[in-house]
C-alpha cells in the first residue's frame, strides 16, 4: 500500500514580549535601517509554527544565564524582501527574492542578546552592518564581542537553529527551502503599508 502524505496548512505564530518573554525592536517598521525608510507599515513579529518552539527553547536557554533575546526581524513578507533587494541587491547579505528568503518563509529570526537590564550585549557591529566585520568568527572585533557572538551562536545552535556565516544576528531553521515563501496577505492584519 503506498504511503500517503497529508499536507497541513502552515500557520504563523505571533511573537510578543508577553507571550514569549522577548524584547522586540522591529527595525524595518521604522527608518533606522539600511534603506533609511520604513519597509513595514506595522511592527509585528511572526514565526512559522514549526520554528516557534525553537525560539521558545532559545529564550529558556538564555534565561538560565540571566540573559534575554531582542528580536530585530523574523517573518518578512515577500513584498518586503523585494523592497530590500531593489534597494540593495547584495547576495552576501540579502536573499534574492526570486529564490526566496528564509525570513519570507517564516523560519528565520534576526536577534541579539541582552543583559538582565535589557541592554544589548556588545557584538562588535550594529545589526545589519553589511561588512565582513559582521561575519561569524571575525577576529577583528573586540574579545568581548567575540565571546558574546559565540554565546549567542551556542544558545541558538543548542536550541536547534542553523546560522548564516555572514551575519552574527541571523538564525534559521535547517533545510529552510522546504517551506514556501509567503506574502503579506497570509497575515490577519497586514504588515506592509
φ, ψ (nearest 5 deg) of residue 104: -70, -10
pLDDT band at 9 (very low <50, low <70, confident <90, very high): low
The 10 Å Cβ neighbour count of residue 109 is 29
User: Tens digits of per-residue pLDDT, 50-70?
Assistant: 999 999 999 999 999 999 999
User: Tens digits of per-residue pLDDT, 17-39?
Assistant: 999 999 999 999 999 999 999 99
Q: Tell me: pLDDT of 122 over 50.
A: yes
- Residues, the chain, total? 193
Residue 23 forms beta bridges with which residues? 70
pLDDT of residue 70: 98
Indicate if 167 belongs to the active site: yes
CATH number at 67 reads: 3.30.1380.10
Write out the H or E segment, with its range, that includes residue 115: none
State the catalytic residue, choosing from 18, 50, 52, 167: 167
Q: What angle do CA 118, 121, 122 make, to 5 degrees?
A: 150
Whether residue 173 is contained in a domain is answered as yes
Helices within 65-135 (DSSP H only): 78-87
Q: Tell me: pLDDT of 5 over 90.
A: no
Write out the H or E segment, with its range, that includes residue 151: helix 143-158
Q: What cell was used for 66?
A: 540571566
Residue 13 forms beta bridges with which residues? 47
Whether residue 192 is contained in a domain is answered as no
- pTM of the predicted model over 0.85: yes
User: Tens digits of per-residue pLDDT, 81-106?
Assistant: 999 999 999 999 999 999 999 999 99
Whether residue 157 is contained in a domain is answered as yes
Range of the domain at 33: 12-186
**Tally of domains in the chain:** 1
Helices within 2-137 (DSSP H only): 17-20, 52-64, 78-87
Torsion angle of C-alpha atoms 91, 55, 121, 170, degrees rounded to 10: -10
Rg (CA), the chain: 16
Nearest partner of 126 among 161, 167, 85, judged by Cα: 167
Q: Report CA-CA distances (Å) from 58 to 20, 54, 74, 144, 168.
A: 10, 6, 14, 21, 15
Q: Strand, helix or coil at 104? A: coil
Whether residue 37 is contained in a domain is answered as yes
Whether residue 2 is contained in a domain is answered as no
Whether residue 4 is contained in a domain is answered as no
Amino acid at each position: 500500500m503506498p504511503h500517503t502524505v497529508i499536507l497541513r496548512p502552515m500557520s504563523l505564530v505571533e511573537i510578543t514580549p508577553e507571550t514569549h518573554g522577548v524584547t522586540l525592536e522591529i527595525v524595518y517598521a521604522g527608518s533606522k535601517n539600511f534603506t533609511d525608510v520604513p519597509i513595514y507599515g506595522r511592527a509585528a513579529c511572526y514565526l512559522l509554527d514549526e520554528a516557534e518552539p525553537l525560539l521558545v527553547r532559545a529564550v529558556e536557554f538564555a534565561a538560565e544565564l540571566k540573559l534575554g533575546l531582542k528580536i530585530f526581524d523574523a517573518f518578512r513578507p515577500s513584498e518586503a524582501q523585494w523592497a530590500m533587494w531593489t534597494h540593495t541587491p547584495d547576495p552576501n547579505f540579502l536573499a534574492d527574492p526570486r529564490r526566496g528568503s528564509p525570513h519570507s518563509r517564516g523560519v528565520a529570526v534576526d536577534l541579539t542578546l541582552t543583559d538582565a537590564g535589557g541592554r544589548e550585549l556588545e557584538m562588535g557591529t550594529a545589526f545589519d552592518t553589511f561588512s565582513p566585520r559582521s561575519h561569524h568568527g571575525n577576529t577583528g572585533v573586540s574579545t568581548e564581542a567575540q565571546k558574546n557572538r559565540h554565546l549567542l551562536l551556542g544558545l541558538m545552535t543548542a536550541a536547534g537553529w542553523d546560522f548564516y556565516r555572514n551575519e552574527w544576528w541571523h538564525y534559521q531553521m535547517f533545510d529552510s527551502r522546504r517551506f514556501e515563501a509567503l506574502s503579506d496577505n497570509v497575515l490577519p492584519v497586514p504588515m506592509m503599508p
